[in-house]
Structure 1
Amino acid sequence: MIRSNPYFEELGSIHVEIQALFDGSADEGALRRIMARFAPQFTLVTPSGAVMDYAGLHDTFARLIGARPGSQITIKDMELVAEYPSGAVVKYREYQRDSAGNANVRRSTAVMDLDSTGNVSWRHLQETFCTE
């Protein structure tokens, strides 16, 4: 029997919601639902090396609502780096493109928390631009 991996499921499902937010097809509650998936103490190290907190992430997502028509996000090469009772560290590659021809690939490492009810939240994310 194959055990489901809540971290990989979270990676897939949140990127579907972010894609809809970027391309403008998300419903009115999408930003609230997306932000509920991040811990209040969340931090992001962007590909440029800047550090963003929860509020900065919220502002960035709010600014990008509908800003990338035809947005497509694909997640590949998911790997569990470490797993422990209260969470895990995962890495993956993220491919983004839009209808204007903008495209990028990122290697990302995420620290995710797991609560007693099985809910996953994002604690930290480090993104690095890369080629295929």
Structure 2
Amino acid sequence: MNDANPYFDEIQAVNAEVEAWYSGAAQAGALDHLMAHFSPQFSMILPNGGTLDWPTLRDIFAQHGGQRPNFKIQITDSTIVAQYAGGAVVTYNERQSDGEHSRNLRRSTAVLEIDAHGRVQWRHLQETFCTE
């Protein structure tokens, strides 16, 4: 399923901002704009099994912004697992590349919520490395 959808749009938008942030193409104030996509209660399970929360995610972004000049992200195969009045669970594939050298594929599951202002926010994310 890849029809236009606010959850799929949000996944594309956040990953475009992450790409710009890491590649150094982001504008001033981009970190605050990026972090506004994530709920204050955000949690994540990393591909290595580690976990992080909103403050830790912000710290990671702050430390590594602009450090991957050729960084690219491609999102494919977005699928709704469950949708309910307050949000949705979505899976997608995320292919990351640093140009010629580093490439990886992740399968991701995101819990996305709609906040009081009608904006989609990230509540939880789990990423798993997988082979091509």
Q: Distance in 1 between matches of 2:114 and 2:33?
A: 17
Report the counterpart of residue 110 of structure 1 in structure 2: 110
Aligned positions, number: 130
Report the counterpart of residue 73 of structure 2 in structure 1: 73
Q: Distance in 2 between matches of 1:15 and 1:41?
A: 19
Q: Distance in 1 between matches of 2:96 and 2:5?
A: 23
Q: Distance in 2 between matches of 1:5 and 1:99?
A: 30
Helix, strand or coil for the counterpart of 2:112? strand
Q: Distance in 2 between matches of 1:63 and 1:100?
A: 23
Q: Distance in 2 between matches of 1:4 and 1:26?
A: 25
Segments of 5+ residues of structure 2 without an aligned counterpart are none
Q: Distance in 1 between matches of 2:36 and 2:16?
A: 15
| 1:19 partnered with 2:19 | yes
Q: Once the two structures are aligned, what percentage of the paired residues are identical?
A: 48
Over the aligned positions, Cα root-mean-square deviation in angstroms equals: 1.2
Segments of 5+ residues of structure 1 without an aligned counterpart are none
Q: Distance in 1 between matches of 2:104 and 2:63?
A: 19
Q: Distance in 1 between matches of 2:64 and 2:104?
A: 16
Scaled by the length of structure 2, what TM-score is found?
0.94
What amino acid maps onto 1:26 in structure 2?
A
Report the counterpart of residue 40 of structure 2 in structure 1: 40
Alpha-carbon offset, residue 28 of structure 1? 1.2
Alpha-carbon offset, residue 113 of structure 1? 0.3
Segments of 4+ moved more than 6 angstroms = none
Scaled by the length of structure 1, what TM-score is found?
0.94
Report the counterpart of residue 91 of structure 2 in structure 1: 91
Q: Distance in 2 between matches of 1:115 and 1:41?
A: 12
Q: Residues 42-71 of structure 1, C-alpha deviation per residue, up to 9 Å, x if partnerless?
A: 000000000100011001111120111111
Q: Distance in 1 between matches of 2:44 and 2:94?
A: 15
Report the counterpart of residue 121 of structure 1 in structure 2: 121
Helix, strand or coil for the counterpart of 1:79? strand
Report the counterpart of residue 31 of structure 1 in structure 2: 31
| 1:53 partnered with 2:53 | yes
